[in-house]
Chains A and B, each alone.
Chain A
Amino acid sequence: MAKKLKKVDVVTVGVGWTGGIIAAELTKQGVQVVGLERGKARSTEDFQHVHDEYRYAIRYELMQDLSRETITFRNHRDERALPMRQLGSFLLGEGLGGAGVHWNGQTWRFLPYDFEIKTKTEEKYGPNKLGSDYTLQDWGITYEELDPYFYKFEQMAGISGEDNPKGAPRNNPYPTPPMKETPITKLFKDAAKNKNLHPVHIPSGNLSERYENPDGQTINQCQYCGFCERFGCEYGAKTSPNVTVIPTAKKTGNFELRTHANVTEILYDGSKATGVKYVDLQTGEEFIQPADVVVLTSYVMNNARLLLQAGIGKPYDPETRTGVIGKNYCYQILPGATGFFEDKKFNTYMGAGALGAAVDDYNGDNFDHSKLDFIHGGVLAISQTGQRPINNNVVPNDTPNWGKEFKAQSIKYYHRNLAIGAQGASIPHRNNYLSLDPDYKDVFGFPLLRMTYDFTEQDRKLHDYLSGKCADIMKEMGADIVEPREIKDHYSIVPYQTTHNTGGVIMGADPETSAVNNYLQMWDADNLFVVGASAFAHNGGYNPTGTVGALAYRAAEGIMKYRENKGQLVKAKAASKRA
């Protein structure tokens, strides 16, 4: 029998970037917030022995324990979904700070085009550019409306960057200057300029200098140690919830953090969420935590899963194309080109997660698609994240992947290869979605989330196009061998690709086609907010965290408004008017 606890103002399910931002913003204004985090507490002092590629990057020390819960996966609806038994394609976060601990820190703003993608695409290219299987839609908010929230996130996080002529327009400079120029970023920039492109330093959450944020939290200067993605920062120099919003929330005295608290259910009375049920993983005790406002802050997967399990919002059905929960699951494609240099060695073992240079000339609608049979694009970047030896054995295509030749070539090219990678936008397709698995259960007996996903024709065309552009720049950089990447026959859950999963609880202007309004408030439950990349109506051509952060600040403001006025914060637009 679950023990019922005293009601609180707000409860968050997960304490990473989004849970931390909600907690900090609300507690600063006197609201009582309980943060439920199923992992353990951790911060900078836990990362003093973190320079261990095997433990952290290969065995995934900081990631989700799949023995308790995973997802199931299939490419197509007519296949049997099977459990993702090991981590691979993406690395789910777990523990205080979530994936905000082991991200790389590349902090972009999605483009104005992204937020009004359907309208703008139709205006320019007509109504049927991609065909009706692509469930493209506007986000119910414009870039101009989101601009101040982007800035709030960047100020809190101390982002290091510079003006980007092809990026989203800014009204304020970045809080800190860009990271250092290196021979690698310079080589890329020179080549890009020769091609009449507009290179900039990647906006970085590994800070170029020591910075105190408006909440009085200090983020230190990045040391370029080469252990960033998949690792926590031993200097507190990679901005993370653990060194910013979580201590800010704690400082108010209004935040209660409960770790090892695994939420299993949202409690729902048919119109409102009354609280959540969770299990203390250390004692096995069950608790009910009633709250005036429930906030799901679990990035994507568990936001969608908990809603499907609770029956809040209509589940998406790809057959009838009705329903919203689980709809528009998107990922990203990763076109690119590898360059091998016979006579030049680079210090690729040094680096930082967001150290690099990029061009946005082929992102969004920054280039004309009239004669192309795809939309959108992606950022093209060279990143110097620090190449560690287990995971980096890059060899030319015709080399075997074991044996004498492999060993010789992987050693020879270890410091003699560079890669330009694109983050190709992911356009939603009716057959790519999230639902509950009919067979497989988690450790508590609840159904796992089932992912149905494959690459689309749009993906293939965009991939080819962007790989070609990456190869052009790499040739200009002087590589002796240039190998453009090719897209696989099908999406595979096995090799690591990216942790930029999005969608499933998307935002929009119309309850028929979206799950949350532009404050990330559920259309079907006024006191339930669902915060994360789950709200993305499609995935853009960038890392998602900047946009996730902006939406979290927007949601925090929405929760304060809801506490004042109750009810829906946004008037729904009917689908018929927009069709």
Chain B
Amino acid sequence: MADENTKSTMSRRRFIKNSSYVAGGAIGGGFLGTILGRNVFTDNQQQASPEKNNNANDYNRALMYFTRQKDFDILSAATERIFPEDENGPGAIKLGVPYFIDHQLAGAYGHNDREYMQRPFYPGSDFQGYQTRLKRHEVFMVGIQAIENESQKGFDSSFLDLEDKQKDEILQKFQDGKVDLKGVTPTTFFELLRSATLEGAYSDPLYGGNGNMEGWLMKEYPGNYMSYINDIGKDKFIKKEPKPLRAHFAS
């Protein structure tokens, strides 16, 4: 794991160094300085696991929603199976996805603020969508506890202690609708978990996921550029160092 980290940092260091974008000085010094100086080179090596990545300055990486560490750890382990670390780069945990989800559950998303939650509630067909009376934050709690129950039932062990293959087996049961959940279908929970994991991996880093923009780096997605008018006609693939929305505030 340490090797992987070093490798990915080095390749990015090389990328930035070689980038004509930086050489041309097209970007404000404030923003790039932040990226180079702190996030990329300093923090990266320390993000081996959620327990170890509590960099003293990363005030955002704390819990807004979850009250029990274990629930948060189960969520973390589940997201990591959905988006695992591999040869492409970090998985959900290193990207900060569990924190992203925690923060989202504490706010409008978790509380379905802009959605129709009036009674009466009926089960509905597969084509009628979300019909549970539970709000998303409640769905996550019910689902996470059910993951642990299934693990105890099937393997006589906590989800946190399972082999990857066993974890996948359990998650697959949720996706296939083969678990009894209270108040919500297991597929509804699984689909929320799956989509929230991808959202955390690839949303702007302002939301707490996509740590160091590594989600974007893996996909070679450049984030927030204001114009491609001079590049859109070009035939070759153009790789650009990603820019976050924060860049709007840099001088």
Chain A residues engaging chain B, CB cutoff 8 angstroms: 48-49, 51-54, 58-60, 65-67, 69-70, 73-75, 79-80, 82-86, 88, 180-183, 221-226, 234, 345-347, 349-351, 355, 388-390, 393, 401-404, 407-408, 411, 414-415, 439-441, 490-494
Assuming A70-B116, A85-B112, A402-B83, what are 11 further A-B pairs, CB within 8 angstroms? A59-B109, A66-B116, A225-B225, A225-B228, A226-B225, A347-B234, A349-B221, A390-B202, A402-B175, A408-B86, A492-B129
Please state if A403 and B168 are interface contacts (CB–CB under 8 Å).
Answer: yes
- B88 touches A (CB below 8 Å): yes
- Chain A contacts of B117 at CB under 8 A? 67, 85
- B67 touches A (CB below 8 Å): no
CB distance from A574 to the nearest CB of B (A): 40
Which of A66, A82, A389, A492 contacts B114, CB < 8 Å?
A: A66
A234, A393, A402 interface centre (most CB from chain B within 10 Å): A402
Which of A48, A53, A345 contacts B202, CB < 8 Å?
A: A53
B81, B116, B229 interface centre (most CB from chain A within 10 Å): B116
- Chain B contacts of A85 at CB under 8 A? 112, 115-117, 129-131
CA distance A74 to B87 in the complex (A): 45
- B194 touches A (CB below 8 Å): yes
CA distance A182 to B82 in the complex (A): 35
- Chain B contacts of A415 at CB under 8 A? 220, 237
Chain B residues engaging chain A, CB cutoff 8 angstroms: 81-84, 86-88, 91, 108-109, 112-118, 120, 122, 124-131, 168, 171, 175, 194, 197-199, 202-204, 206-207, 215-216, 218-229, 231-235, 237-238, 245, 248
Given A54-B199, A389-B221, the answer on whether A441 and B118 have CB atoms closer than 8 Å is yes
CA distance A346 to B234 in the complex (A): 10
Which of A60, A65, A401, A494 contacts B127, CB < 8 Å?
A: A494
Closest to B190 in A: A402
- Chain A contacts of B168 at CB under 8 A? 403
Which of B88, B115, B228 contacts A66, CB < 8 Å?
A: B115
CA distance A74 to B218 in the complex (A): 41
CA distance A127 to B237 in the complex (A): 53
What are 24 A-B contacts defined by CB distance under 8 Å? A48-B248, A51-B225, A54-B203, A66-B116, A67-B113, A69-B116, A82-B124, A82-B131, A86-B129, A180-B229, A181-B233, A183-B235, A347-B232, A349-B222, A390-B202, A402-B81, A402-B82, A403-B81, A404-B84, A407-B84, A407-B88, A408-B87, A492-B127, A494-B127
Given A226-B228, A403-B82, the answer on whether A491 and B130 have CB atoms closer than 8 Å is no
Closest to A60 in B: B114
Please state if A224 and B216 are interface contacts (CB–CB under 8 Å).
Answer: no
Given A67-B114, A86-B130, A411-B219, the answer on whether A180 and B233 have CB atoms closer than 8 Å is yes
CA distance A167 to B129 in the complex (A): 38
List the 6 closest A-B pairs by CB distance, nearest first.
A54-B203, A223-B227, A345-B237, A350-B228, A389-B202, A51-B224
Which of B115, B197, B219 contacts A414, CB < 8 Å?
A: B219
